[in-house]
């Protein structure tokens, strides 16, 4: 059975492709989901891909990852990255690998975006590489989960 990875997306990411294309590009969240599914299949992973605008819904999705025994979480908590103690605390209860992903380079933006409440819990952080960051996160997880140096990334 393939390792399960939950890919969780926060508020306003459902507007990708229309919202601030100079910052986030023209790719849609559906495009990202499609690319993640293709990458996961190629890497022998299974994914559950979700987007929520509410903080409590993201916490519930993390609880679901715990309950389903997911091996890893890729999370782009968007604005909640910088504010949500609830998401931080839910992630603390997760025993698997965590990779934080951001489409933009949060450190090159407004100063309030420089602090991540998720970063101290993350096994890795990918920021500023656009939609490619999700695929890179899946590749890194496949490598970490396989513990096989021969896997091609």
Give the residue from 111, 5, 107 showing the smallest Cα distance to 50: 5
Is position 102 annotated as part of the catalytic site?
yes
Spatial distance between the Cα atoms of 6 and 26, rounded to a whole number of angstroms: 24
Spatial distance between the Cα atoms of 58 and 38, rounded to a whole number of angstroms: 24
Give the residue from 93, 85, 88 showing the smallest Cα distance to 63: 93
pLDDT mean over 78-85: 94
3-class secondary-structure state, position 123? coil
Sheet hosting strand 3-9, strand order edge to edge: 45-51, 3-9, 72-76, 97-102, 124-127
Which range has the worst mean pLDDT, 43-57, 102-116, 137-151?
102-116
**CATH 3.40.50.280 correct for 3-31+38-78+86-146:** no
Query: Looking at the predicted structure, is the pLDDT value of residue 46 above 60?
Result: yes
Which range has the worst mean pLDDT, 1-10, 51-60, 77-86, 99-108?
99-108
- In the numeric block, which tokens belong to residue 20? 């601030």
pTM (2 d.p.):
0.91
Q: Give the pLDDT confidence of 84-125 residue by residue, as tens digits.
A: 999 999 999 999 999 999 997 777 566 766 689 999 999 999
Is position 24 annotated as part of the catalytic site?
yes
Domain range list for the chain: 3-31+38-78+86-146
Find the catalytic residue in 6, 24, 88, 134: 24
Task: Report the pLDDT value the prediction gives residue 150, as an integer from 0 to 100.
Answer: 52
Find the catalytic residue in 80, 88, 102, 134: 102
């Amino acid at each position: 059975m393939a390792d399960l990875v939950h890919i969780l997306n926060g508020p306003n990411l459902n507007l990708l492709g229309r919202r601030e294309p100079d910052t986030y590009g023209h790719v849609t969240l559906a495009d990202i989901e499609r690319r993640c599914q293709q990458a996961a299949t190629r890497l022998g992973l299974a994914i559950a891909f979700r987007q929520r605008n509410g903080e409590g819904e993201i916490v519930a999705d993390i609880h679901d990852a715990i309950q389903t025994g997911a091996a890893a979480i890729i999370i782009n908590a968007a604005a909640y990255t910088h504010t949500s103690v609830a998401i931080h605390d839910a992630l603390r209860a997760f025993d698997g690998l965590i990779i934080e992903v951001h489409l933009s380079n949060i450190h090159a933006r407004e100063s309030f975006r420089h602090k991540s409440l998720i970063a101290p819990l993350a096994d890795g952080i990918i920021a500023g590489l656009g939609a490619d960051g999700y695929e890179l996160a899946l590749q890194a997880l496949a490598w970490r989960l396989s513990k096989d140096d021969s896997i091609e990334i």
